[in-house]
Amino acid sequence: MEQIDRGTRADLHTHTTASDGTCTPTENVRLAREAGLACLAITDHDTVAGIPEAVACGKQWGIEVVPGVELSTLAGGQDIHVLGYFIPYQDAAFQAELAKLRDVRNKRNEMLIARLQELGIQITLEDVYKQKEGPDANIGRPHIAAEMMRRGYVASIEEAFAKYLGKLGAAYVTPPRISPQQAIDLIKQAGGVAVLAHPGLYDDDELVEELIRYGLDGIEVWHPDNAPAAAERYLRWAEEYGLLATGGSDFHGWRGKEPFHAMLGSSTAAHTVVAQLKALAARRRNGETG
């Protein structure tokens, strides 16, 4: 457990009900305040819908809120996620690009449900989508896992991913997506800062190094799924390549009584990193860097 002053820390990876989290943006900010954090990033999957609410609450409660997003990409047959910080979340053109990514996510949901039905798991896309309403409903694998639990096919979210929905699961499928390089370009061209999310999940350090050379701005060193030895390696690479070293819990709210993915504030970065992210984004918007 970190022996640190949380008032100097930032959780730079959290999800809300705008994507596959179970807490509203307001609730995430409240949890950050209760944890004594200085800063919180909202990084929902392929959407910025939760940011305005979080920013407003942050101003009210004295928590700095970083506008972010987590882009879904594909490389080597597996999902690779790229975080974007200080992105232009109110920009219509940027929001249109995110809408394209959500269309791919919806296609994947259709493919997953079809494969689960082939395996004898009788849930429907309509059942899953009832969990969220509205034209911007952003459904992902955790929602499918929750429906599987509700129907009694699995006992937990973890079991659903291990047996069916994770990259080694029997129902795992993924449609064509943009590459992580394209995601890096999209974030940087919009004036944001591109950071590789949870590199320890990919079991592919060759790809991580390739993306560093391509143009990543940072790497998520501190994350619940980065083993200590891997975190040390990523920190060393950040120092060697001049990257920003970030950290976050990947909090998705609660599934039952347990926090999913990990509790907000459990993995953090120094608050000074936020100033570096903001400064780099400002320089990029001013055309001072690529």
Beta strands 39-42; 64-75: pairing state: parallel
pLDDT at 83: 98
Q: Is 149 exposed, middle or buried (0-12, 13-18, 19+ CB in 10 A)?
A: middle
Domain for residue 131, yes or no? no
Domain for residue 255, yes or no? yes
Domain for residue 241, yes or no? yes
pLDDT at 134: 53
Total domains in the fold of the chain:
1
HSE-CB for 86 with a 13 A CA cutoff: 19
Domain for residue 113, yes or no? no
Domain for residue 126, yes or no? no
pLDDT at 246: 98
Q: What is the CATH number of the domain that holds 229?
A: 3.20.20.140
Predicted confidence pLDDT, tens digits, the chain (290 residues): 344 556 789 999 999 999 999 999 999 999 999 999 999 999 999 999 999 999 999 999 999 999 999 999 999 889 999 999 999 999 999 999 999 999 998 899 999 999 999 999 999 999 998 877 555 567 889 889 989 999 999 999 889 999 999 989 999 998 889 999 999 999 999 999 999 999 999 999 999 999 999 999 999 999 999 999 999 999 999 999 999 999 999 999 987 788 988 999 999 999 999 999 999 999 999 999 88
Question: Distance between CA atoms of 284 and 180, rounded to whole angstroms?
Answer: 19
Domain for residue 141, yes or no? no
pLDDT at 2: 44
Domain for residue 35, yes or no? yes
Would you state the torsion angle of the CA atoms of residues 22, 70, 52, 137, taken in this order, to the nearest 10 degrees? -50
Domain ranges, residue 253: 8-107+172-285
- Both tokens assigned to 190: 């919009």
Has this prediction a pTM greater than 0.85?
yes
Domain for residue 191, yes or no? yes
- Both tokens assigned to 254: 């609660």
Instruction: Give the closest residue to 69 by CA, choosing from 92, 97, 47.
Output: 47
